[in-house]
Amino acid sequence: MPEIRFRGAVAPLRRPAVNLPSSVAPMVAALRPEQPLHCLRPATIAAAAAAFRASFPGRVLYAVKCNPEPAVLRALWSGGLRHFDCASLGEVRLVRSMFAEASIHFMHPVKARGAIREAWERHGVSDFVLDSAEELQKILDETGRGSGRLGLVVRLALPKGPAVYDLSGKFGAQEAEAALLLRAARPHAARLGVSFHVGSQCLEPAAYTRAVALAARVIQAAGVQVDVLDVGGGYPVAYPEVMPPPLRAFTSAIAAAVEVEGLEDLELWAEPGRALVAGGTSVVLQVQHRRGDALFVNDGVYGALSDAGAPGFRFPVRLLRPGGGSAAPLVPFAFFGPTCDSADRMEGPFLLPADVSEGDWIEVGQLGAYGSALRTAFNGFDRAGILEVTDAPLLETPGYQVVAAA
């Protein structure tokens, strides 16, 4: 029988084995990197975690899919996070290998049987999300019906909402089905919960109000005791020309809705991802060619800038030119990534000095969310470095403590 070999597609982020300055600009001047350089701000991430924990009236689970870089997870841990929302066995293994005392919650509504079994038997995972009778049965089969410690959380379907990334349509049980699932799960659950997700980068606090009201209707229709209300993720961050309401507007809306709907006795969970880590990483690119108002750079939609492609996210940028900056006025540019694919284009616009040219470096901010998680090995452009810095984020989001540059 032939041997089956499994491999990862993306080269790991590498740390230069030299002593360097702790700020981005002098670091770039020293390294003069020709490959993308991820600049991690651990203090910013830890502060965001602490701020979210202080504002949210419940348990905070970090959505690991947003950025699974171990240095990011360590920064979150230092900010007081002890709960992790994992969507795969790989994420479960990673978190458990780093934090023996972490609470891991398997929040993907459709899981492989082997993943359920290993998470339960080897990694101490007891909380599982489901949105169908088949998934409930799968969980019961692979956990031996729970042994009195099983947490079961029914995910609700939401109608299309105002979030930038709409997450409706793939997961979630409709109201009547969700009530039936709660009844079916109750006899097997040490903890029974209801969850929803309003969509990623949701700019409207009232979206959570409406979702809590839906959850309350489902709980009432089920007629069984429910212990947990998981209000999911979606908490937004700032991007150029996008300034969301402050964090407190969202957590206050959730708390008020819980009170209005009479759900105060339920334990509240949240699953932030972008809100905790977006400002915690920037990526330094090098300009390899200029063609009019388009810059060819060494990273793109198949690397850290996926959200700048088809989704059209804009990101804060600044020119890094060792030996001096530029007094030229800021003008809009588009980016082309390094691959041979013409779709590797980022419209921006990215505002940079008019004299930017080949050989210059550009720092792109707000890439801690999904910037490293969505990297691919397409065309062989999978090499990148990572370093920790003390700079403040390029753009601040209201409601989070930020760390000033050293």
List the chain domain ranges. Answer: 24-40+278-388, 43-276
Q: For domain 24-40+278-388, give its CATH number from 3.40.50.150, 3.30.460.10, 3.40.50.300, 2.40.37.10.
A: 2.40.37.10
pLDDT classification of 406: cutoffs 50, 70, 90: very low
- Quote the pLDDT of residue 177: 97
* Peptide bond preceding 240 in cis form (omega within 30 of 0): no
134, pLDDT greater than 90: yes
Q: pLDDT tens for residues 242-278?
A: 999 999 999 999 999 999 999 999 999 999 999 999 9
Q: pLDDT tens for residues 310-369?
A: 888 899 999 999 888 888 999 999 999 999 999 999 999 999 999 999 999 999 999 999
- Quote the pLDDT of residue 147: 74
d(C-alpha 102, C-alpha 27), whole Å: 34
- Quote the pLDDT of residue 146: 67
Do 320 and 28 form a contact (C-beta atoms < 8 A)? yes
- Quote the pLDDT of residue 8: 67
* Prediction pTM value: 0.94
Q: pLDDT tens for residues 354-397?
A: 999 999 999 999 999 999 899 999 999 999 999 999 999 999 99
The average pLDDT across 72-100 equals 97
Rg of the chain, C-alpha, whole Å: 22
1, pLDDT greater than 90: no
Q: Which residue has the tokens 């023996």?
A: 100
d(C-alpha 200, C-alpha 119), whole Å: 26
Q: Which residue has the tokens 């800021």?
A: 330
Strand duo 127-130 + 317-320: pairing: unpaired
d(C-alpha 235, C-alpha 317), whole Å: 22
What class is the 43-276 domain?
Answer: alpha beta
Cβ neighbours around 271 below 10 Å, total: 25
- Quote the pLDDT of residue 19: 76
Q: Which residue did the predictor score with more confidence, 398 or 61? A: 61
17, pLDDT greater than 90: no
The average pLDDT across 283-294 equals 97
What are residue 13's phi and psi, to 5 degrees? Answer: -65, 135
Token couple for 369? 């969310």
Question: By C-alpha distance, which of 320, 303, 322, 273 is closest to 382?
Answer: 303
Displacement of CA 99 from its chain's centroid (Å): 19
